[in-house]
Structure 1
Amino acid sequence: MSESSLSLAATELPELYDYLLKMILIGDSGVGKSCLLYHFLNDRSVEFASTLMRLPSSLPPSSTMSGVPASSSKTLKVQCWDSAGQERFRSVTRNYYRGACGAVVVYDITSRRSFESLQSWLSDARALASPDLEVVIVGNKVDQEDERQVPYLEASRWAQEHGALFVETSSKTGENVEQPFILLARAVLLAIESGKLDPDKTGSGVSYGERALRRVSSWNGSLSGSGGKGKLFGKCC
């Protein structure tokens, strides 16, 4: 799947989406979390924002999911949460983690201490959000290559060993700043379509959007008009 097939759609798509999901940004203070979010949201500086993303579905169009025919792409409404400096005092609350299905965990490639803190951040996230949390590890500040303290291969291997994706970025130059969010959204969508994440399950961090509900309703209606067999999930339509 080429990256060109992925698209951000904060201003292009209607307010209809298939899934709503929550992403959190965590990591030591000063590693560049807020700047990453700033660039991703098209130069908007906020502690919380949502944007729409359209991603290709991993399911063939002819397949079904929960009895609903799959489409070739899905629209996700992504809620992005920034810890807004709470991490300076190690006061990131349980509520911040609750309901998250994905985490962008950031360290500074020029600070080994911030890299060594990843284990603590990841453990907290999986304990307080979900053990099935999808994670992208981000090594920020690649524009300061001369001051690098954490080799790329070491960090990449660490991420792989901890079941996370990995990418390096520069929130100063804008290099790769969209990639962590695209990778994370794609991982969450794959988890939904493979059955690992259930939007019907409380606390999964994912819920159905209006478009998905309308699709169920539309398909439901077409069944009701075909021979009177209007049954879905064993319940009356």
Structure 2
Amino acid sequence: MMEGSFDEECDYLFKAVLIGDSAVGKSNLLSRFARDEFCLESKPTIGVEFAYRNIRIGDKLIKAQIWDTAGQERFRAITSSYYRGAMGALLVYDTTRRSTFESLRKWLRELREFGSREMVVVLVGNKSDLTHSREVSLEDGQSLAQLEDLSFMETSAKENVNVEDAFLQMINKIYDLTSHKALNTKPSDQKTDTINVETLSGNKEIICIDEVSATKQTSRCCAY
């Protein structure tokens, strides 16, 4: 459930990334979750863009900052640095294209190379509404998730099926890990995050200064 406004003070800021091959529907999953929008036109994401959404968990307000990374190989040098500081990831494949499922091990290697060891990863099989075009079975997704110790869910950004659940499952797991770690951290060990708030073309964006070192490139686009 969306809570509050952008300017409302939050208790936690969670950064997460959407990764997977081009045109698996990452941008539409993000726009569906953040704005409840869906765009059928397919245009590749250039570099990285992000959106935010406020989530209430108990008495805590979580500001979820979701980054949509380009799936094209020519942008990998740009996007690899954006794993830094990410606490969660949705690893997305297209249930109608077997090749995107077979690429998942490559994405997992990249996650483990650039991401935190404690990163929460949810495996997402998108476009589940296209049943007649399916090339990856539900059982295939479940088996890989079990093998790699990942959470798993099939979604449809177009029909808005399980999109909310996939993101909230990731955010709740991040919160559980973060709150547990906070309970076991001495006050003297706690550090304050530095946050810089920018406004670009009327859209407010949050950047954790100590987490981003690459040049940020953004575009408005959708890929279903």
**TM-score, with length taken from structure 2:** 0.72
Distance apart, 1:143 and its partner CA: 1.0
Provide, for residues 55-84 of structure 1, a one-character-per-residue CA deviation record: whole Å limited to 9, x for no partner: 23xxxxxxxxxxxxxxxx32111111111x
Q: How many corresponding residue pairs?
A: 182
Q: Distance in 2 between matches of 1:50 and 1:102?
A: 14
Q: Distance in 2 between matches of 1:10 and 1:107?
A: 32
Q: Distance in 2 between matches of 1:198 and 1:93?
A: 33
Instruction: Please identify, of 182-191 and 117-126, the stretch whose mean Cα deviation from structure 2 is larger.
Output: 117-126
For 1:189, which of 175, 179, 188 is the aligned residue?
175
* Kept in 2: contact 1:143–1:170 (CA 8 A): yes
Q: For residue 111 of structure 1, what is the aligned residue in structure 2? A: 97
Q: Whose RCO is larger (CA < 8 A, sep 6+)?
A: 2
Q: Distance in 1 between matches of 2:167 and 2:182?
A: 19
Q: For residue 142 of structure 1, what is the aligned residue in structure 2? A: 128
- Report the AA paired with residue 17 of structure 1: C
Q: For residue 156 of structure 1, what is the aligned residue in structure 2? A: 142
1:40 is the counterpart of 2:8: no
Q: For residue 52 of structure 1, what is the aligned residue in structure 2? A: 54
For the pair shown, the structure with the greater C-alpha radius of gyration is 1
Q: For residue 165 of structure 1, what is the aligned residue in structure 2? A: 151
1:8 is the counterpart of 2:16: no
Q: Identity of counterpart residues, as a percentage?
A: 39
Q: For residue 202 of structure 2, what is the aligned residue in structure 1? A: none
Q: Distance in 1 between matches of 2:140 and 2:182?
A: 29
Distance apart, 1:185 and its partner CA: 0.3
Distance apart, 1:208 and its partner CA: 9.7
Unpaired stretches in structure 1, ≥5 consecutive residues: 1-6, 57-72, 210-237
Q: For residue 220 of structure 1, what is the aligned residue in structure 2? A: none
* Kept in 2: contact 1:126–1:132 (CA 8 A): no
- Report the AA paired with residue 119 of structure 1: R
Distance apart, 1:114 and its partner CA: 0.4
Distance apart, 1:22 and its partner CA: 0.4
Q: Distance in 2 between matches of 1:198 and 1:96?
A: 28
Provide, for residues 117-166 of structure 1, a one-character-per-residue CA deviation record: whole Å limited to 9, x for no partner: 11111221122021211001110001111111111122112112212111
Distance apart, 1:196 and its partner CA: 8.9
> Which runs of at least 4 in structure 1 moved beyond 6 Å after TM superposition?
196-202
Q: Distance in 1 between matches of 2:81 and 2:183?
A: 20
* Kept in 1: contact 2:96–2:134 (CA 8 A): yes
Q: For residue 212 of structure 1, what is the aligned residue in structure 2? A: none
Q: CA RMSD in A?
A: 2.9
